[in-house]
Structure 1
Amino acid sequence: MRSAVLLSVFGLALSAAAVAQQTAPAAGASGPAPSLTVDRDPIPSPEGDAATPSTGGNANLPNSQVERQGGTYTLRTNVGEVRLNATVLDGSGRVVQSLGRDAFHVYEDGVPQTIASFRHEDLPVSLGILIDSSGSMYDKRAAVGKASLDFVRLSNPQDEAFLVDFSFEPYIDQDFTGDIHKLEAGLSYVKASGGTAIYDTIIASADYLARNAKRPKQVLLLVTDGDDNASSTTLEEAIKRVQELDGPTIYCVGLLFGPDEDKRESRHARRVLTSLAEQTGGLAYFPRRLDEVDDIAHQVAEDIRQQYTISYQPSKPARLGGYRQVHVDAKANGYSRLSVRTRTGYFPKGAVDAPQAKAGGSQ
C-alpha cells in the first residue's frame, strides 16, 4: 500500500511571460504543496521545511565546490557562490571538451563575473528518474524501463539514483541507490493508470533532491507521453522552484507520437518540456518512435558526463533578491563559433524581497 511521506515543498507563482522573458516574477502562495509518496519501504521524513533544508542533504550545493582525493569526492562550501554545469558545442553541434578556464566568460544580468573555480571531469551525480505512469503509457512501459536502466548503467559508477512514477501524483518506487538491481525491481511498481501531474512531480522531486542527495551535481530525467492535466501547481511554479533551489538540470523525453495523438495538446506538451529543459540547462528530446528512446538515454548520459563545472561569486549581493539572468560565452582559437548550454538563471537564497502580488494564470 502506498503510504504518505511528509516532504513539504513550496509552490511560488511565476507568470508565463516572466519565464519567456527571463525577468523576476511576482510570488505568492499556490495551494496544497505537492509531495512524494512512497510505493515501497517508508523513507524517513526530513526535519524542517523547504525554506530551511536540513544539513544532512545537499542544502548548500549552490554554494559548493567538489574536491577529489584519490577516489573520494569532497564537497567544499563557499558562501554565496553559484555553480553552473555547462555543455559546449561547436558550429556543427559537436561537443567540445578541450577548453580551459580562460575560454569562458560568465555574465549575470549582463554584468561580467569572476570565475572562482573551474572543472572539467566526470563528477558523480544524484539523479531522479521520473516516469509517467498515466494510462496512455501502458504499451510504452517496457521500452521506457529498459532505457532508464541503460541510462543508469552508462552513468558514473558513483552516481546515486531514485525512481519516481507519476500519474495523478508522484510516487517513489526506489529511494537513492547505486544498485541497478534495486532500480530494476522498483520499475515493477510502475503501473499505467490515471492522469499526468508533471509540474507537481518536478517540484516534489527537485525538493527531494535538495534535501536528500549526497552528490554535488543534480539531474532529473523526465519521460512522459502527454501534457499535464492533473497538477495543483503550474509550469511557472515548477520552474521557479527549481531555480530557487539552484536545482537540477532537467532532461525531458516527450513520447508525443501515435495514432491517437492530439496535435494541439502535443504542441503544448512540446513547449512545456522544452521550457523545463531550457530554463535548467538540459535538453528536450522528441523521438518519432519508441525504439529511439534507448538511444536518447545514451545521449543524456553522455551529455551529463561531458560537462564543465563553473562557479562564481555574484557581484550583486543576494540580499537584494530578484531573479538573476545568467549567460555564459566561450571563445577559443580554432573555433569560429561556440555555444554554451547551461541554466538561464536563478533566485538567490537569503534574499529579502518586498511583498508582491500573487501572479495570475497557469499553464
Structure 2
Amino acid sequence: MSPHLFGDYAKTLPPPQREPSLVSLRPPGELATRVTPLLMRVNASVTDHHGRAIAGMQLSDFAVYEDGAERKIVNVTPTTEPFNLVLLLDVSGSVEERIDFIRKAARDFLNTASPQDRISIISFRDDIQVISGFSTDRSMLSKKLDDIDAGGATALYDALGYILSDTLKPLRGDRTAIVILSDGDDNKSFVPFPAIIEATSESGALIYPLYVPSGLIPESSVPQPSITVDPLRTRYLTITTRAAEEGQKLATASGGVFYSIKRLEDLQKAYDDVVAQLRTAYTITYASNADGTGHRRIRVRANREGASVRLSPAVSAPN
C-alpha cells in the first residue's frame, strides 16, 4: 500500500516493493539493527459463483490472512500483466505416429495465448528437449515446432522437475505457469511424484495439465470427429486412474486447473479456459510475519459477493 504523502506528486509514485524498514534501538555504544519484513507473493484467481472471471479488482478489494492473522498487502498486480508460460509437450512413443497432431495442437495454443505472454516450448519423452526459450514471437515459436522428434518412454515428472528447478528458477516470484499436453501416463521418470508436488509448492508456478488419451488422437494431421477408432486402441480412449489422480493433485498443489479431455473438440475449449484462468490471476504481494522457512496457511478474501478465490503457493518476492 502506498504511503500517505502530501501533494499531487505522490499520486504518480509507484507502490513500494518493500515495506518501510523498522529500526530496533540499542543501548548507547551498540549498533542499531534494521528489521525488514519478509515480502511474499501469491497468485489469486478470482471468479464469481458462475465461474466467470472478476476483473478490475484493486488492493483494497483483498484481505490476506497468514496462519490466521491478517497481513498488510503491499501491492496487487493486475490481471493484464503478462505471464511466463512453459508449454510442455509429450512426444513419447504413444504419440510417435501422431506427431503432426501434437504440432497442430501446440500451434493452436500459441494462437490462443495472450500476445504479451512469453512462451517457452519444451518437449519430453525419456529425455528432455528445449525447443525454444521464452519469447513473444509466435511465428518463430511455430517454426520451432518442426524440430520436435517423437519416440521413447514417458518421463513426465523428470521434465517437470527440470522446468521447476531450472527453467523457472530465475523467474521465482514472477508470474509463471506450465501447460502440459500429455496422456499423463508416466512410465520412466527417476524423480518421484511426491518430490514434484513439493517442488511445485515451492515454485509458485500455476500448472494446467491437459491430459488427452492417446487412443483419441488420429494418425492424420488434422483431427476429424468422424474418424472411426481402431478397436485395438479402445483401451487408450480414457486416461488411467493414476494419471487423472496425479494430474488433479498437480493442479491443486499449484493453484491451476486439471483438464481430462474426453473429445478432441474439447481441446480448444480447454485452451480458451486456461487463457481465461490466467487472465483472472491477480498477483498479491504482502508482508509476512514468518521467517522464510516452513509452511504457511494462506487465505485470501475477495471483497465481492459470491467470489471464489483459488491460490498458488506463496513464494518470497524478489527484492
Q: Could you say whether these structures have the same fold, taking a TM-score greater than 0.5 normalized by the shorter chain as the test?
A: yes
Structure 1 residue 303 displacement after superposition = 1.7
Deviation at 1:238, TM superposition (A): 1.1
Q: 1:249-328 to 2 correspondence within 5 Å?
A: 249-256=206-213, 258=215, 259-261=234-236, 266-318=240-292, 321-328=293-300
Residue 207 in structure 1 maps to residue 176 in structure 2? no
CA gap of 1:141–1:110, structure 2 versus 1, over 3 A, is: farther
Q: Give the aligned partner of residue 53 of structure 2.
A: 95
Residue 325 (structure 1) shift: 2.9
Alpha carbons of 1:274 and 1:129: their partners in 2 closer, same or farther (altered >3 Å)?
same
1:116 Cα offset (Å): 1.3
Q: CA RMSD in A?
A: 2.7
Change (3 A) 1:291 1:139: farther
Contact 1:133 1:193 in 2 (8 A): yes
Pairing partner for 1:224 from 172, 176, 182: 182
Cα deviation 1:188-237 (Å, max 9, x = unaligned):
23233122112111111122333455993111111111321111111221
Deviations 1:95-131 (A, max 9, x none): 2224333332222233322211123231122111100
Counterpart secondary structure, 1:118: strand
- TM-score by length of structure 2 reads 0.75
Unaligned runs of 5+ in 2: 1-13, 19-36, 216-233
* 1:298 alignment partner, SS class: helix
Q: Cα distance 1:215–1:129, how it changes in 2: closer, same or farther (>3 A)?
A: farther
Change (3 A) 1:126 1:148: same
Judge conservation of contact 1:195–1:230 (CA < 8 Å) in 2.
Answer: yes
How many residues align? The count is 268
Structure 1 residues 159 and 214, CA gap change in structure 2 (3 angstroms): farther
The change in CA–CA distance for 1:261 and 1:327 in structure 2 (over 3 A counts) is farther
Which one is further off, 297-306 or 75-84? 75-84
Aligned-residue sequence identity (percent) comes to 27
Alpha carbons of 1:329 and 1:180: their partners in 2 closer, same or farther (altered >3 Å)? same
Residue from 94, 108, 112 that aligns with 1:136: 94
1: distance between equivalents of 2:115 and 2:172? 14
Q: What is the aligned partner in structure 2 of residue 125 from structure 1?
A: 83
| Distance verdict in 2 for CA 1:82–1:347, change over 3 Å | closer
Determine the structure 2 residue equivalent to 1:198. Answer: 156
How far has the Cα of 1:295 moved from its partner? 2.3
Given that 1:143 and 1:294 are in contact with CA atoms closer than 8 Å, whether structure 2 keeps it comes out as no
In the TM superposition, 1:18-29 aligns within 5 A as none
1:220–1:170 distance in 2 versus 1, CA, 3 Å: same
Asked if the contact 1:146–1:294 (Cα under 8 Å) also holds between the matched residues in 2, the reply is no
Bigger RCO (CA 8 Å, 6+ sep): 2
Alignment deviations for residues 228-285 of structure 1 (CA, whole Å, 9 cap, x no partner): 111111122112223323x31111101137312387x711101111111111111111
Q: TM-score, normalised by structure 1?
A: 0.66
Please tell me whether the aligned partners of residues 127 and 218 of structure 1 are also in contact (alpha carbons under 8 angstroms): yes
Kept in 2, the 8 Å contact 1:84–1:309? The answer is yes
- Aligned counterparts of 1:173 and 1:76: Cα–Cα separation in 2: 37
Q: Distance in 2 between matches of 1:348 and 1:123?
A: 19
Which residue of 331, 338, 359 maps to 2:307? 338
One-letter amino acid of the counterpart of residue 61, structure 2: A
Q: How far apart, CA to CA, are the structure 2 residues paired with 1:178 and 1:84?
A: 24
- The change in CA–CA distance for 1:214 and 1:106 in structure 2 (over 3 A counts) is closer
